[in-house]
Amino acid sequence: MAFVVGINLAVALKLVGVAARVDHRLLMRFYPLHWYAAALILLSGLALLLAYPAKALTNPLFYVKLAALTGGLSIAALWQRRGLAGLDLDRPRMLALVAILLWVITLFAGRFLAYTHSVLLASRSF
């Protein structure tokens, strides 16, 4: 998770203007590592979902995390596809702030998932 979030936060901070002197081509070189890490997150998430499906699927916070993660990865794919130099969006700064917010939501929702479940196993809900 640190690779995925860290790389995306670095790109977002570049677009916000915090790291204005960092060359965008340097950041774009990290995207292959980003997608490998995202694949590992997908595999570990599927393993947790298969192990405790009732725990995840009955917790609304799981869906918040899933939506924020999907939004963050969609923005990352957009940035990679268009490149930071050729980003022709009207407000790349606003999109970067949205990306930062989505990654913070993803991290917090994921951390609180362990503490907010009401059902652990489906057999115990009867």
Question: If the chain, 126 residues long, is cut into consecutive pieces of 10 residues, what is the mean pLDDT of each piece?
Answer: 92 85 84 94 92 86 95 93 62 88 95 78 56
> 11 burial class (0-12, 13-18, 19+ CB within 10 angstroms)?
buried
> Tell me, what's the pLDDT at 6?
93
Distance CA 31, CA 7 (A): 8
Distance CA 47, CA 49 (A): 5
Whether 54 contacts 118, CB under 8 Å: no
Distance CA 19, CA 24 (A): 10
* Residue that has been written with the tokens 């990290």 in this structure: 30
> Tell me, what's the pLDDT at 108?
95
Whether 17 contacts 101, CB under 8 Å: no
In sequence order, the 6+-apart residues with CB closer than 8 A to the CB of 39 are none
The CA radius of gyration of the chain, in Å to the nearest whole number, is 17
> Tell me, what's the pLDDT at 85?
58
- Closest C-alpha to 102, from 77, 78, 66: 66
> Tell me, what's the pLDDT at 36?
96
